[in-house]
Amino acid sequence: MSKETTIVSQQLSTKEGAFTAEFEWPVTLAIDKGLDGAVTNKSKVGYVDGDKGRLIYQGYPVETLAENANYEEVAYLLIFGKLPNEAEYAEFDSKLKAQRKMPIEVVKIMDIIYDHKHSHPMSLLRTAVSVLGVLQKNVMDTSRENELRMGMHLIASMPTVIAALHRLRLGLKPVEPDITLSHVENFLYMLHGKKPAALDVKLLEISMILHADHGMNASTLTAMATSASLSDLYSSIVGAIGSLKGPLHGGANEVVLQEFLKIKSIAHVTEYVAGKVAKKEKIMGFGHRIYKTYDPRAAVMKKYASKLKEEVEMFKIAEVLDKEVVAKYGSKGIYPNVDFYSGIIYKHLGFETNFFTTIFAAARISGWLARILEYRAENRIFRPRDVYIGEFNKEFVERKKRV
């Protein structure tokens, strides 16, 4: 592992005494790059079992939820800790439906700033969420009731923003949400302007359920660190979207598909892997800080991606690449992660490649919200520390005399 652990006491003892003379350092501190192994809080929201490859939401295996529940039920489960009964579901669902519409100001701003060549959809989504926060009232009220209200507004309206961006990119008019449709049906309806096929609804449903929460990942930590200063929910989600965008995190799904297109056919997979190994480059869609075995979400995605006749050539490339990378790196705990097979499904659903991570964000919003609300109850500002390795007591030299 490339984890760098530096024991500060050892580092200090190699210096010339200046550190210990100036400050009383806690000499047992260790540097764990990327906060590896750090534990931020206790949570009931979800559990990632990295050794056994299990993912649990509020007690339920994610595979069971993906097969049997819809996204609204899973969002409710993450937030409230139980699956909703009929009455609870009806109330939650109608509140979400009532907030699907995107304010006209957001559409106008997106239309003005959208540079079709250069604007990344994740940057636009981040900006749209920020604008939604500007238009909201009482954002600084951090009561559970108010944060839940605003969070449900984001769960409901992020698909509307994404679908509108997709259509603006194609030069089409955004489609108004349809409140007779479920969350996922409506997402696809707003994307293509027609009622979606049952298989497509199932594909997006399982994908959004599998992406809804995942422990203390980078974007969740970003959301929580922002929120813990008692900042507003929209600011926290803007930060989380920014974190998710990176190719080491949610942005990997986009790069994975680009790599499949470069590989072109199964005949080139071996050569591709050898090239990556020779250049010591990471292979996108593989590896995970917590999973040292197959990511359970990748297994479900693979099962569904394998059924898509139109994507069979791309699936074959993925499957061979999966086998070759696991043969090479499996002993190091490198296996496919959630971002490896998801792109094949998103492509099938008609999303452009650079929109893939926006779907991840639209799903993860319920996990971000659930964890922010849970942490609020025992809120404490995040404040880790670093180790100063610079100098002390440098002499100040006037600018004109500086070299």
Catalytic residue among 288, 295, 322, 348: 288
Least distance to ligand SDX, CB of residue 361, Å: 11
Burial 208-235 (b: 16+ CB within 10 A, else e): bbbbbbbbbbbbbbbbbbbbbeebbbbb
Kindly list the distances between the CA atom of residue 393 and the CA atoms of 13, 25, 59, 366, 396, in Å, as whole numbers in the listed order.
19, 17, 55, 49, 9
Q: Does residue number 1 form part of the binding site for ligand SDX (CB under 6 A)?
A: yes
Mark 164-203 with x for binding to ligand SDX (rule: CB under 6 A) and - for no binding. Answer: ----------------------------------------
Which residue matches tokens 């990556």?
276
Give the one residue of 101, 173, 262, 282 binding ligand SDX; rule: CB under 6 A: 282
Contact indicator for 211, 57 with CB cutoff of 8 Å: no
249 counts as catalytic: yes
Q: Does residue number 214 form part of the binding site for ligand SDX (CB under 6 A)?
A: yes
Give 187 or 335: the residue with its C-beta nearer to ligand SDX. Answer: 335
Cα R_g (the chain), whole angstroms? 23
Contact indicator for 39, 215 with CB cutoff of 8 Å: no
Give 225 or 338: the residue with its C-beta nearer to ligand SDX. Answer: 338
Q: Does residue number 289 form part of the binding site for ligand SDX (CB under 6 A)?
A: yes
Which residue intervals of 333-400 are DSSP H helices? 338-348, 356-376
Mark the segment that binds ligand SDX (CB under 6 A) among 144-152, 182-190, 196-204, 327-335. 327-335
Residue 72 to residue 53: CA distance in whole angstroms: 25
Q: Does residue number 260 form part of the binding site for ligand SDX (CB under 6 A)?
A: no
Give the one residue of 287, 335, 345, 371 binding ligand SDX; rule: CB under 6 A: 287
Kindly list the distances between the CA atom of residue 377 and the CA atoms of 89, 143, 235, in Å, as whole numbers in the listed order.
24, 10, 19
Least distance to ligand SDX, CB of residue 378, Å: 23
Q: Does residue number 245 form part of the binding site for ligand SDX (CB under 6 A)?
A: no
Q: Does residue number 162 form part of the binding site for ligand SDX (CB under 6 A)?
A: no
Q: Does residue number 275 form part of the binding site for ligand SDX (CB under 6 A)?
A: no
339 counts as catalytic: yes
Q: Does residue number 217 form part of the binding site for ligand SDX (CB under 6 A)?
A: yes
**Of 73, 188, 158, 184, residue with least CA distance to 364:** 158
Q: Is 287 left (phi over 0), alpha (psi -120 to 50) or beta?
A: left
Contact indicator for 326, 292 with CB cutoff of 8 Å: no
Give the residue closest to ligand SDX by C-beta: 287
Q: Does residue number 334 form part of the binding site for ligand SDX (CB under 6 A)?
A: yes
Which residue intervals of 7-70 are DSSP H helices? 8-14, 18-22, 62-68
Tokens standing for residue 17: 């005494």
* Chain centroid to CA 25: 37
Mark 24-63 with x for binding to ligand SDX (rule: CB under 6 A) and - for no binding. Answer: ----------x-----------------------------
Residue 13 to residue 17: CA distance in whole angstroms: 7
Least distance to ligand SDX, CB of residue 121, Å: 18
Mark the segment that binds ligand SDX (CB under 6 A) among 22-30, 37-45, 162-170, 280-288. 280-288
Least distance to ligand SDX, CB of residue 137, Å: 31
Q: Does residue number 283 form part of the binding site for ligand SDX (CB under 6 A)?
A: yes
Tokens standing for residue 237: 């989600």
Give the one residue of 285, 318, 347, 368 binding ligand SDX; rule: CB under 6 A: 285
**Residues involved in catalysis:** 249, 288, 339
Instruction: Note the residues at the interface with ligand SDX (CB under 6 A).
Output: 1-2, 34, 214-215, 217, 248-250, 252, 282-289, 329, 332, 334, 337-339
